[in-house]
Amino acid sequence: MLIPARMKKIVVVGLNDDRGKVLSVLHDLRAVQIEPVSSKLSPYFSQEKGAQLERALAAETQRFKTLVAALPPVGVDAKVHFPTTDALLEAAKAITIDDKVHHLKKKEDELLTLQENLGELKKTLEEFSFFNEPLGLLRARSVFSFFAVVEEDKFSLFRSEVQALSRDAYLSGPHVSDDGKAMRIVVIVPKENAEAFAKVTSKHGARLFAIPSEYEGTPSQAITQINQRLTEISREMELVKGALLEIAKEWYSKILPIEEELVVEVRKAEVAGRLGRSRSSFALEGWIPQREIPRVESALSKVTGGRHQVIVTDEHEGAPTLMRNPPGFRVFELFIRFFSIPQAGEVDPTLVFSLVFPIFFGFMLGDAGYAGFILAVCLWMIWRIGNPKAGPTIVPKFLVNFTTTIMPPPAMKQLAKTLVPGCLIGIGLGVVFDSYFGFPLSAFTMGHFDFALIPWSTPAGQPNMLPGQLVYVAKLLLFTVYVGIAMVTLGLIFGAVNAYFHKNWRHLAGKVCWILLAWGISLAGLSLVHHYPGSWLIAYHAYFYEYLAMLVVGAVGVLATEGPMAAVEIPTIVSHVLSYARLVGILLASVILAFVVNTIAITGSSTQAALITHGVGYAILAFVLVLVVAVFNIILGVVEPGIQGARLLYVEHFSKFYTGNGKPFVPFGATRKYTHPQEFEPHSVPTA
């Protein structure tokens, strides 16, 4: 899991007569990423060019994709077998329903367009139904007539300027809109004043609507006619949909397998352009996971009868990356792919990320209430995105639109899954820290914890945070330093592993020296902090000088193996170790904020009564204050632990070993749903 799948570059050489079978097998195995033939094979094989067959396949594929998109889907039960490409093309030519489907689909599109246009016209007429005169009166040859909407605060000036254009200008109404913010009117202006009227309209931001030309009665009468026409359109739509459904029932089970097999053949034809070809044989090159080589060789032997050869080369340059993480950890590949895909020959950090990130997230969250709420939201998102037809949601539409513009629903579901273990850890640590939406509750549940971050009550004369809590926070800070040492060391170990796989012994020795240096600096510094005697020259720690020697040996080794410029990176090791102290800082930021607000609003202190005790008005204010801070802390509890937890891994950990910029492994092939491969031996299977 820590190393991507070991990739090998292979060359497959076979007879031209077996090329189609070989490509079909490779397509269905989905184990080889086929590359263009390299220059090494160019003297023996020429690159194949497009042929008439490929163009015919492409044309048929486009035709069948159009048919599949036009027809309503109908279930397909059995798989179909096309023994040869010629049999596939014959089956495709036997489908002759294109004209009928095209006619019905065109009719459906015309009806949909007419339905939408009439719906918009009906909406406009409903807004101006206050006009009780026939619409034909507004279509005189010498004037322009419009329905218009003007903002309420601009209406008076708009009306005066329009009337000033000509004494023949006319405005009927106005009629106030439902929200009271706009005025609806009918405007009539002589045609010679059209240009001046356009300037007035633009100046005041008025919206104009054309008078419908096909209706003579009043707007209310026109609406009645439109409703009748919409009813007729609905009936026609049902007839068209019914006709398409009848066609689909008869032909869909034939069209869908042909379309799938055509797509497969087009893929094979596209890949054929990467192959090398001679008069009697062909050659292809590609990358394959080493563990897949026996399976591919066995499958090829079955279809070629041994008339092929698979050559495994020693080439490693440019190998793609196939990460191989178990399903439970694979969801965290979202973060790794967002940062950069590992190269084929370096450590894959997904496993470490999936174990460490939830711990960091839960630790920085550190509140059972907030963690529980975020967990509930994550579980709801996973369920809701996985069941889009579950019905209406209580989430406002604008919020849904905003979040989906940032991240598509599948990625959002994956992100929610990554936060679930962190929330569970946050709930557990929230119980340990005795924090429930900022309220310490252990005094009422299971007895007071000595290690609670915030005391439930403060004795008179004592600060809000007791000395015991201060000591505990100091221990947490010390704990984060050791976490920093461990993560930096693990990163350096991974760097040494990468150097080992690349046989870079000098770089491997440098990583070992960096580990000695990191531990020497950290342990020597901690011994000085804990055993400071009044003079920095002497430390009362038994192993201080050993730590100092480790530091010196590590520094000398780093300079010897990495060069003098590595000296500028030595302070970085210290900063990366200390950077993990932010775990406690973010934890305390939200916990103390909630504690202070809850104390002011609800619980009070020994010197000041809570707001909730000062009357109904203050009680409402206290509730609003606590709610606002809770919402803020929930948002903060997702954003800050998520960003900072990922940052600690990306910067302080990955920088010790991770190169990235790998290319994903994209095997040739796709999953078949409705067809069997050409080399399949059918037994009572439908054959086209």
Same domain flag for 300 and 379: no
- Do residues 637 and 593 make contact, with C-beta atoms less than 8 angstroms apart? no
Same domain flag for 217 and 264: no
Same domain flag for 416 and 468: yes
Same domain flag for 521 and 437: yes
Mean pLDDT of 223-247: 94
In this prediction, residue 467 carries a pLDDT of 45
In this prediction, residue 614 carries a pLDDT of 80
Residue (of 44, 40, 43, 24) closest to 32 by Cα position: 24
In this prediction, residue 215 carries a pLDDT of 85
Predicted structure pTM score: 0.74
Q: How far is residue 122's CA from residue 231's CA, in Å, rounded to a whole number?
A: 13
Same domain flag for 340 and 212: no
Q: Return the minimum-mean-pLDDT range out of 76-90, 263-277, 446-460.
A: 446-460
Q: How far is residue 684's CA from residue 688's CA, in Å, rounded to a whole number?
A: 13
Cis amide leading into 320 (omega within 30): no
In a domain, 441, yes or no: yes
The chain-wide mean pLDDT, for the chain, equals 85
Listed in sequence order, the residues at least 6 apart from 505 whose beta carbon sits closer than 8 Å to its beta carbon are 499
pLDDT band at 589 (very low <50, low <70, confident <90, very high): confident
Q: Please write the tens of the pLDDT for every residue from 96-151.
A: 999 999 999 999 999 999 999 999 999 988 888 888 888 888 888 888 899 999 99
Same domain flag for 471 and 377: yes
Same domain flag for 379 and 281: no
Q: How far is residue 294's CA from residue 314's CA, in Å, rounded to a whole number?
A: 17
Q: Which of 202, 231, 260 is the last residue of a domain?
A: 231
How many domains does the chain contain in total?
3
CA distances (Å), origin 664, targets 115, 343, 348, 414? 47, 9, 13, 19
Q: How far is residue 528's CA from residue 550's CA, in Å, rounded to a whole number?
A: 15
Same domain flag for 616 and 508: yes
Same domain flag for 303 and 342: no
Same domain flag for 16 and 61: yes
Q: Which of 213, 231, 249 is the last residue of a domain?
A: 231
In a domain, 576, yes or no: yes
pLDDT band at 603 (very low <50, low <70, confident <90, very high): confident
Q: How far is residue 472's CA from residue 486's CA, in Å, rounded to a whole number?
A: 21
- Show the domain range for 24: 7-96+239-312
pLDDT band at 91 (very low <50, low <70, confident <90, very high): very high
Query: Does 308 have pLDDT greater than 80?
Result: yes
Question: Could you give the angle at which helices 616-647 and 350-365 cross, rounded to 10 degrees?
Answer: 160
